[in-house]
């Protein structure tokens, strides 16, 4: 037991510089973490990383298209709700991964939220399953409290997306976007309404197009 003080006396001082360094490092910002920071930003205030369409464009476009459709007399002045179905948005952009479903679903969401019951959307994507379910119920294979007729479509909402890209002398990229929507009478095929949403984005050399 008498040797312990000598061991401490002869070994603790060589470790002192390393202890001091460890204390200094842990006092620096980020010690004990992954070294990164994060914070919340406004949903419409995300940074622009390319000249392609982004989430802010999709939300703004959806709001504008929904507002324009709800102002139409054939919708606003109708006695009952109008039945609308999406067909598709033809992709004429330079992006093979263009997500037309995301755009259409955003427009539908805005229309349903703001239509006050003036619009009913028919789920054309699952019509085969709906027909099979209805036929099974009517054949007695499945029970149902009441039988309902499937409503017909009054209007089809469709359109196309077009983007042209121009490369400048110094490598800058100008992308012109055009997203066109139209409302077609399901009985006559007549185009009753059409509206474009257009914008341009300019990027410097090396920026991503998509």
Q: Given this model, what pLDDT does residue 97 score?
A: 84
- Which of residues 6 and 39 earns the better pLDDT score? 39
**Across the chain, what does the average pLDDT equal?**
76
Position 13 pLDDT exceeds 50: no
Residue 177 DSSP class? E
Structural domains of the chain, with CATH: 55-137+151-203 (3.40.50.10610)
Q: How far apart are alpha carbons 60 and 80 in whole angstroms? A: 28
Q: Given this model, what pLDDT does residue 104 score?
A: 87
Confidence band, pLDDT 50/70/90 cuts, at residue 12:
very low
DSSP letters spanning the chain: -TTHHHHHHHHHHHHHHHHHHHHHHHTSTTTTS-S-------TT-PPP-BSS--HHHHHHHHHHHHHHHHTSHHHHT-SSPEEEEEEEEEEESS-TT--HHHHHHHHHHHHHHHSTTSEEE--GGGHHHHHHHHHHHHTTSS--SS--PPPPPSEEEEEEEEEEEEE-TTS-EEEEEEEEEEEEETTT--EEEEEEEEEEEEE-TT-B--
- Separation of first and last alpha carbons in the chain: 74
33-43 pLDDT tens trace: 555 787 666 65
Q: How far apart are alpha carbons 18 and 13 in whole angstroms? A: 10
Q: Which long-range contacts (CB under 8 A, 24 or more apart) does 137-143 make?
A: none
For residue 103, give the nearest of 181, 29, 42 by alpha carbon.
181
Place of tokens 């427009």: 107
101-153 pLDDT tens trace: 888 888 989 988 888 888 988 876 665 665 566 666 667 655 445 545 556 78
15-32 pLDDT tens trace: 455 555 455 444 555 554
| b/e 99-137 (16+ beta carbons within 10 angstroms → b) | ebeebbebbbebbeeebeebbbbbeeeeeeeeeeebeeb
Position 14 pLDDT exceeds 60: no
62-91 pLDDT tens trace: 899 999 999 999 998 888 899 898 888 899
Tell me the pTM.
Answer: 0.66
Q: Given this model, what pLDDT does residue 191 score?
A: 95
Q: Given this model, what pLDDT does residue 192 score?
A: 94
Position 207 pLDDT exceeds 70: no
């Amino acid at each position: 037991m008498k040797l312990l003080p000598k061991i401490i006396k002869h070994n603790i001082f060589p470790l002192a510089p390393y202890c001091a360094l460890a204390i200094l490092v842990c006092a620096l910002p980020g010690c004990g973490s992954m070294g990164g920071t994060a914070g919340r930003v406004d949903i419409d205030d995300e940074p622009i990383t390319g000249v392609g369409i982004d989430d802010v464009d999709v939300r703004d476009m959806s709001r504008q298209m929904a507002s324009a459709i709800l102002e139409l007399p054939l919708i606003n002045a109708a006695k009952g709700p109008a039945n609308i179905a999406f067909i598709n948005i033809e992709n004429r952009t330079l992006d093979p991964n263009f997500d037309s479903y995301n755009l259409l679903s955003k427009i539908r969401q805005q229309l349903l939220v703001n239509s006050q019951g003036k619009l009913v959307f028919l789920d054309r994507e699952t019509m085969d399953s709906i027909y099979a379910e209805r036929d099974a119920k009517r054949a007695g294979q499945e029970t149902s409290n009441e039988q309902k007729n499937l409503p017909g479509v009054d209007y089809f909402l469709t359109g196309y997306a077009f983007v042209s890209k121009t490369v400048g002398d110094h490598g800058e990229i100008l992308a012109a976007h055009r997203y066109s929507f139209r409302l077609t009478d399901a009985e006559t095929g007549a185009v009753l309404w059409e509206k474009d949403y257009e914008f341009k984005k300019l990027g410097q050399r090396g920026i991503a197009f998509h």
